Amino acid sequence: MKKLIIAIAVLVLAGCSTPREPQLTIAPSPASSNQQQVNNLPVVVKSKDLRTAQFVAVIDSGRSNVKPLHASQNLRVVLEDTLSRQLSSQGFRVVANGPGVLRLDILDALVRVKHTVFKHDMEASVQLQLVAESPEGRFVKRYTGKSTQSGVSSASPDDIELALNNLLEAVLQDIADDEQLLDHMKAHF
């Protein structure tokens, strides 16, 4: 009986000590604006994560060995905060309630990594949708980005983080530079 209890304890402890998959730190920087484009215009920022799966990377090592990697923090919260800081740098005043609402929908944010014995290929894709609504009208636009890169040996979690953060920053820069969106917000918020 003692041997059985010891065997069970060893199995339980071995199960607790198995390494976990690393979590990725997704923290893109907001696009910076050299000059304020509006003067203290209030905007409510909201967000929705409409992705079908919550992981941010998939590593395919062949032979049906596919592992998803998750972000260490909630991607929706990170992107909403980053967009809010970006809008503040453009001269908007982010408020809790108001007539003008800018909603960020996350449609896709994923890095696909394929490992072989001697190299890796990474393909990152991001698709964000902005919905600007006010009593005077609605504006909807999608922003997409794709990047690919290859390297010798396997991709590290740092490589995957860098690929996704860089692509998110490029898409956020597209949002900051979008004159159509800015004109709509100026006219209707």
- Mean pLDDT score of the chain: 89
For position 11, what pLDDT does the model report?
A: 52
Beta carbons of 82 and 30 less than 8 angstroms apart: yes
Please give the average per-residue pLDDT across 159-178, as a whole number. 96
CA quadruple 79, 83, 84, 90: dihedral, nearest 10: 170
Does residue 15 lie in a domain region? no
Does residue 72 lie in a domain region? yes
Question: Over 70: is that where the pLDDT of 48 sits?
Answer: yes
- Would you tell me how many other CB atoms lie within 10 Å of the CB of residue 152? 7
Does residue 47 lie in a domain region? yes
Q: What is the pLDDT of residues 7-41, one digit of tens each?
A: 565 555 555 544 467 899 999 999 987 667 888 99
Does residue 117 lie in a domain region? yes
Does residue 24 lie in a domain region? no
Does residue 100 lie in a domain region? yes
Lowest mean pLDDT among 60-69, 76-85, 120-129: 60-69
Please give the average per-residue pLDDT across 151-163, as a whole number. 91
Does residue 13 lie in a domain region? no
Please give the average per-residue pLDDT across 116-120, as a whole number. 85
* N-to-C CA span, the chain: 74
Total count of residues recorded for the chain: 189
Number of domain units in the chain: 1
Q: Which domain holds residue 148?
A: 40-188
Q: What CATH number did the domain enclosing 141 receive?
A: 3.30.160.180
Q: What is the pLDDT of residues 173-187, one digit of tens each?
A: 999 999 999 999 999
Report d(CA 93, CA 84) in Å as an integer.
9
Does residue 95 lie in a domain region? yes
Q: What is the pLDDT of residues 137-151, one digit of tens each?
A: 999 999 999 999 999
Q: What is the pTM for the complete model shown?
A: 0.86
**Short-list 92, 72, 65, 70, CA closest to 176:** 92
Please give the average per-residue pLDDT across 70-80, as a whole number. 97
Question: Over 50: is that where the pLDDT of 133 sits?
Answer: yes
Please give the average per-residue pLDDT across 105-134, as a whole number. 95
